[in-house]
Amino acid sequence: MREAWIIDAVRSPRGRGKTGVGSLSNIHPQRCMAQVLNGLKDKTGLDPNDIEDVVLGCGTGSGDHAHDIARMAVLDAGWPISVTGVTLHRFCGSGQQAVNFAAMGVMSGQQEAVIGGGVEFMSRYSPLHANGFHANNEHLRDLHPQVPQGISADLIATLEGFTRDDVDRYAVESQTRAAKSIADGRFNRSLIPIYNLDGTLALARDEHPRAGTTLESLKDLQPSFIKMAGYHAEGFDRPFNELVKKVYPNAGALNHVHHAGNSSGVVDGASAVFVVSPEYAKSRGLKPRAKIRQVATAGSEPLIMLTAPGPAAKRCLQKAGMTKNDIDLWEINEAFASVVLKFMRDIDIGNEALNVDGGAIALGHPIGATGGMLIGTAVDQLERLNKETALIAMCTGGGMATATIIERM
């Protein structure tokens, strides 16, 4: 099987995901994604006529994200109408899955030049996005009851014994690392400034991080999911916390440790990764930055939902013939602090080489766009730190995870 090379990876800045507050919220997500595509074109000199598909992840298919946003972004970018686009949905892992599918197309020999990535404007979510995971399917609801992810994160903390201090300390470290990375310009290489329709600059750097966050500043934040856990949603035979007891009878009372300061930020953004075959790169004089060594997915129990990154990483390592000791850097999406703490315990690693530039707690998590962002961040890190390999993993809704191993070239 031939290799899949990453020529470059770019992203928009992450804007706060609140209408009228976030700097990107007045820009249509198609327009933002189009600007990211053209930013990638300008950086690499790629010929859009050569692109065989644009594969984008998006965590919602309604409202302004509807109607195959990948194809619409290609058209909005002014690219040839021959360039196709397809949009996929694997919840939070959508963008990473899009890049993995791009790599699969190249590795299989079916494609030569593909763009993977994603887009999500959380400021523009429609009411339809609020449907539960079971989508009113009574059989699925009874077979696999699922609860809002914040409750799942608190369940992980409860079962694993993670305290409020544990998750808050992790959150402070994420903010500290992100603040230093921003101050040092570590993200600058991959950032594509986003402009308003009138040509004025909308956003050039991430606006969600809160530099100076401390344990003291987090201590007064109240847990976010206590009230939600007691909510009796329509169609369910009991409140969410009773559903947890039904599936995990030995869990006891939930320890509600998560709040806005140790959970991923609500933001808008877009990402794109240019993946090609070695033959194509050589024929066009393109220099690769990394290659995709292996990809994998894994599933886990769907109510706790967020525990599959460890199994996905292990499967990816096994398929690549590698062990954890062969990985220099780790990028694990910070959906909630307990998710990353659980991953470190599952893989038996510390945090010295994990999320070295901070993560979604500080920077934000634009659902379908995040996977492409994390892969691009890992490419930048490998070059900056003179390392060789990185593993990227993300939990997703429904009890799944995606994983990717890349190697610097």
Nearest to 36 by CA among 106, 118, 103: 118
CB 328 within 8 A of CB 256: no
Residue 350: CB atoms within 10 A of its CB come to 7
Is 67 labeled as catalytic in the residue annotation? no
Q: What is the DSSP string of 335-400?
A: SBHHHHHHHHHHHT--STTBSTT--HHHH---GGGHHHHHHHHHHHHHHHHT--EEEEEEEETTTE
Is 395 labeled as catalytic in the residue annotation? yes
Question: Could you give the CA distance from residue 162 to residue 255 in angstroms, rounded to a whole number?
Answer: 9
- Give the active site residue among 32, 58, 92, 316: 92
- Give the active site residue among 65, 134, 259, 365: 365
The tokens describing 112, both together, are 């030569």
Residue-wise over 36-49: b if at least 16 C-beta within 10 A, else e?
bbbbbbebbebebe
Is 32 labeled as catalytic in the residue annotation? no
CB 327 within 8 A of CB 360: no
- Please give the positions annotated as active site: 92, 365, 395
